[in-house]
Amino acid sequence: MPPVPDSLVTAARTLRRERLIDLFGNDPTRVARMTLEWNDWRIDFSKERLSTDALAQLIAHADSCNVAHWIAAQAAGEKINLSENRPALHTALRQGGDTPLYVDGRDIIADVRATQRRMGDIARAFREGQRKGATGLPLKTVVHIGIGGSDLGPRLVCEALSADRAPIDVAFVSNVDPEQLTRALKGRDPATTLFIVVSKTFTTQETLANATSARAWLAAALPAGSDPGRHFLAVTANVSAAAQFGIAADDVLPMWDWVGGRYSLWSAVGLSIAIRHGYQAFAELLEGAAAMDAHVRNAPLASNLAIVLGLIGWWNASVLAHPQRVVVPYAQALARLPAWLQQLTLESNGKRVKRDGSPVDGPTAPGLWGDTGTDSQHAFFQWLHQGTHEIPVEFVVPIRAAHPLHNQQTLLVANALAQAQALLIGRRGEELHRELAAQGIQGPSLQPAAAARICPGNRPSTMILLPVLDAYNLGALLALYEHRTFVESVLTGINAFDQWGVELGKSLAKPIVQALAENRALPDGTDASTRALVEYVRALTPKTG
């Protein structure tokens, strides 16, 4: 990967000293030049700490990093996940038509279509009351068990889509903390509950523990001799482990090695979406994502949403060195977007070496977090406006509501625009002094009163406006974030598709579980702090059995 060009480093140094609002005064064409449109979307990044000149240099840098080539290589199924020798073909899951795409000599599109047909059949049968449980009663509610990529995407989409398609009740259970499963099962009728166990590996500790407890809950409640297996479906690449768990092969839908967990909601991992909102909604989600894929593959660098947003993300994180990124969806339906994005961006790009094993040149993925507007205005926006850090904020705002309360929707959207404006312009001391003096505050109390109210402004943000949050636009939005994340990985030289850092904690948990559950000794060499903590937990854990 070419190093960060000196000209960009110089531009960053200059821009750090600029007031963002002055950049607008110096260039009347700024908004037009820093706004992208796609369908009825508008992405305004004119409030970012960026000049049109720096933007042009960033586009040139994307070109010299061969970003377009990498996007094509990903879509064509090249094995770009080098450390696992796999392609990253989530885009194939939403590709329309039947043009074959081969992985190791096998047409994966044929497999995808066959799985989609099964998903459609299962969803239809369930919604029409034809899928029966062990007692012969139709199954009515779903508990989706999975974690990470096997949870976050389907959960986000299930919650985001409008309730007007007679949604089926779907609860999500991810945490090994039994509290979540216990709450999900409370009030549910075992005779009419379907569990969908989603795990690419079918070895994930949390998922297996929850699935095992769910099976015990069923077995305790169903008539003796009945088959709890009828209340389970699995989505996995490990069919034999699902079979060992007691789920019949006919009730297992596939996942494939060529799809990463955090990119998998478009596969059978999204079965809960198809059941909850109907297969048509799932198909529209795929269509929106496919439309975004086509845009990202074909649009020139400068008007390519994923490339420009990826460049801005890289500029903010790796050149301006902002350690955090805040995402604020102004839509209650998108409450789970920050959590999904955390896994997408931080598991993909939270790394310190490049594909060739050499260290990356500067900071990589910034910490990402956020919450819905307007709630977050009454929580962390104070910090964004008056804290000591400059943190880029991303506003995601569907304009039209899927409900009839249009006045409230207007309030919501207006607040998003106002917050971005406030971050930009702030509130200056002179104006405050005048206002406070007019209110009779004078003498020594005037200065601290004014200082406490000053908002420095000059804080960057991007505004993503969507016409409405339907399945199509949601699919396109999530696909855009996937592509943008990939673009950022290309600019830093990272492999976005492995996650070796997660494995260490998983393997270290095993001896600690054995120490606590079976009173086994910790392995030699266990550090003193962990040893002492285990002893303390042991002492306070009630003895069972």
Least distance to ligand F6P, CB of residue 207, Å:
5
- Of residues 149 and 313, the one with the C-beta less far from ligand F6P: 149
378: annotated active-site residue: yes
- What angle (nearest 5°) sits at the alpha carbon of residue 81, between those of residues 317 and 464? 40
Considering only residues 208-247, where is the footprint of ligand F6P by CB under 6 A? none
Size of the site for ligand F6P (CB under 6 A): 14
Give the CA count within 13 Å in the CB-facing half-sphere of 152: 18
Asked if 149 touches ligand F6P (CB under 6 A), the answer is: yes
Catalytic residue among 128, 179, 378, 518: 378
Least distance to ligand F6P, CB of residue 277, Å:
22
| 366: nearest Cα among 388, 333, 390 | 390
Least distance to ligand F6P, CB of residue 204, Å:
3
Partnered with residue 138 across adjacent β-strands are: 132
- Of residues 261 and 270, the one with the C-beta less far from ligand F6P: 261
* CA distance linking residue 447 with residue 244, whole number of Å: 72
Least distance to ligand F6P, CB of residue 299, Å:
29
Catalytic residue among 48, 159, 206, 347: 347
- Out of 377, 462, 485, 499, the only residue in the binding site for ligand F6P (CB under 6 A) is 499
- Of residues 148 and 426, the one with the C-beta less far from ligand F6P: 148
Q: Which helix (H) or strand (E) holds 72?
A: helix 67-76
* CA distance linking residue 174 with residue 153, whole number of Å: 12
Q: Of 12-20, 194-202, 305-313, 525-533, which part binds ligand F6P (CB under 6 A)?
A: 194-202
Asked if 204 touches ligand F6P (CB under 6 A), the answer is: yes
Find out whether the peptide bond into 374 is cis, omega within 30 degrees of 0.
yes
Q: Of 185-193, 199-207, 322-330, 356-364, which part binds ligand F6P (CB under 6 A)?
A: 199-207
Q: Where are the alpha helices (DSSP H) in 444-499?
A: 446-453, 471-492
For residue 372, give the DSSP letter. Answer: -
Report yes or no: 366 and 349 within 8 Å, Cβ to Cβ. Answer: no
Considering only residues 260-279, where is the footprint of ligand F6P by CB under 6 A? 261-262
Asked if 175 touches ligand F6P (CB under 6 A), the answer is: no
347: annotated active-site residue: yes
* CA distance linking residue 373 with residue 303, whole number of Å: 28
Q: 106 by DSSP, 3-state: which?
A: strand
186: annotated active-site residue: no
Angle between helical axes of 429-438 and 446-453 (0-180°, round to 10): 130
- Out of 87, 148, 254, 493, the only residue in the binding site for ligand F6P (CB under 6 A) is 148
Asked if 81 touches ligand F6P (CB under 6 A), the answer is: no
Asked if 86 touches ligand F6P (CB under 6 A), the answer is: no
| 152: nearest Cα among 291, 345, 309, 328 | 345
* CA distance linking residue 331 with residue 313, whole number of Å: 22
Asked if 147 touches ligand F6P (CB under 6 A), the answer is: yes
- Out of 199, 377, 461, 462, the only residue in the binding site for ligand F6P (CB under 6 A) is 199
> Tokens standing for 409?
């929707």
Asked if 349 touches ligand F6P (CB under 6 A), the answer is: no
Pairing of strands 252-254, 232-236: parallel
Least distance to ligand F6P, CB of residue 150, Å:
4
Sheet with 35-38, side-by-side order of all strands: 35-38, 41-44, 461-468, 393-400, 324-329, 367-369
Q: 387 by DSSP, 3-state: which?
A: coil
Asked if 502 touches ligand F6P (CB under 6 A), the answer is: yes
Least distance to ligand F6P, CB of residue 330, Å:
28
Active site residues: 347, 378, 506
Binding site for ligand F6P (CB under 6 A): 147-150, 199-201, 204, 207, 261-262, 347, 499, 502
